[in-house]
Amino acid sequence: MTRRKLMPLAAGLVLALTLVQTTAQGSDRDDLVRQKEQQTQQMESIQSELEGVDVNLQKVYMDLQETRGKLPGAQAELANAQAEVATAQREQEAVGARLDAAQGELETIGTEIKAGEEKLAQTRDQIGEIARAQYRGETTPSTVELLVGSQSSEDFLTAFAANETAQRVQSVTLTEVSQTTASNRMRQQRQTAVESEIGELKAQADQALADKKQKEQAATEKKQALDELEASISDQQKALEGQKDAFQASLNQMAADRDSTAAQIAAIDAENARKAAEEARQRQAAAAAPRSGGGGGGGGRGGSAPNTGQQIIPPISGPLYVTSPFGWRIYPFDGQRWFHNGVDLRSACGNPQFAASDGTVSAVRPAAGNGTHGNQVILNLGNINGSSYVAVYNHLSGFNVSVGQRVSRGDIIGWTGQTGMVTGCHVHFEIWKDGQVIDPMTLPGF
């Protein structure tokens, strides 16, 4: 393939790899974002479940839940560390086995080289003896010399056979010297290679041992961390058990606060009913009064028309995220059920909260002395379609209204906070209809 054809292909591969990497990074980021959102939701759920409970008790329980949340991660880290120790152990054993094999091979090569050198020494002695014999003139006779010197054919054959044997011995001896020398040279080359391999394997074995010790140390630390986590959970559970009296006191306080709010709502409903009756009486009186001017044709209607009301809006700007719904909740301490009169919505500290409809501020209660509710505003929305409506806002960080003030729908009545028996900023919003709480999330404006 030409260079011109390769360049677009290479560029395409780089682009593809970049896209894969970018996609992977994006996926990792999305996972982290989802994890963070899940953690936020879990924390908000716990905070909402504990609403109204003694703050110190809330902290003990939330610390316990947070510690428990770390437990699976610590267990996974320990398992990973132990797996890494096992892998390091196997690697060390594998390197050790290769090192043992190489050392065994080196020992065998050394033995073979020694045997070859001993054989060479013996062969060299034989060659030296042959050389000395030739030097003394004791050379192997030729065939003619054997014929001339033999007394009989038997003598010739015997001498000829002996002569052939001597020549073969000399030839074999020289061949053995050559072969043994070549074999030892090859063994020495292999010996050098094996010695080098052993050096590398020893370095690998040292590194494997160091890695194993490091992994074992990491596993030990992970085990200690897990043990400390489990011990902490045990201590926190004991601390939680010791807070049972505080929990019951919180339930008693919540019951008192609920009764107090209900009594205030009942008074508001009674006043709304009185006003509605008075307005109805005035309309009836106006309808019964004689009309001025002549009789006959139509004329203006007396009194005011019934209040048909207007749509109730959420206390904060949307979108709405419910952290704790309206209705029964179960406290995690001992499974007791408690009715949640309102809905909790996600909202950051300091966010404005709005009047749900036109109305009159019936109560502005500061957190001090207001039990579990914290800073509280009770807003009388009046009679809407024949029913008395009241809105309640709890845990505000501050007020923007005063008792008796008329407000219009959407006016700021205060700001999101975490006053009262709560541990995190959020909206607690209640709607009362004719003296009974209803789920705000079922209203048309939500």
Please tell me the predicted confidence (pLDDT) of residue 75.
82
> For tokens 């906070």, what's the residue?
417
Percentage of the chain modeled with pLDDT above 90: 24
- Residue pointed to by tokens 């991660």: 73
Report yes or no: 201 and 95 within 8 Å, Cβ to Cβ: yes
Average pLDDT of the residues in 332-350: 85
- H or E segment at 407? strand 406-407
- Can you tell me the distance from the alpha carbon of 312 to that of 310, in angstroms, rounded to the nearest whole number? 6
pLDDT of residue 251: 66
95-120 residue pLDDT tens? 888 888 888 887 898 898 888 778 77
Residue 153 · residue 161 · CB < 8 Å: no
Taking the C-alpha atoms of residue 207 and residue 211, their distance in angstroms, rounded to an integer, is 6
Which residues does residue 385 pair with via DSSP β-bridges, in sequence order? none
Comparing 140 with 326, which gets the higher pLDDT?
326
Helix or strand holding residue 341 (H, E): none
The alpha-carbon radius of gyration of the chain (Å, integer) is: 51
Tens-digit pLDDT profile for residues 42-56: 655 555 555 555 556
Task: Name 338's bridge partners.
Answer: 329
Residue 344's contacts (CB-CB under 8 Å, 6 or more residues apart) are: 48, 51, 322, 323, 324, 325, 426, 427, 428
pLDDT classification of 317: cutoffs 50, 70, 90? very high
Q: In this structure, how many other beta carbons lie within 10 angstroms of the beta carbon of residue 12?
A: 10
Q: Do 421 and 58 touch, CB atoms closer than 8 A?
A: yes
**Residue carrying structure tokens 């106006």:** 286
Taking the C-alpha atoms of residue 271 and residue 165, their distance in angstroms, rounded to an integer, is 143
**What number of other Cβ atoms are within 10 A of residue 287's Cβ?**
10
Once rounded to an integer, what is the mean pLDDT over residues 163-189?
A: 71
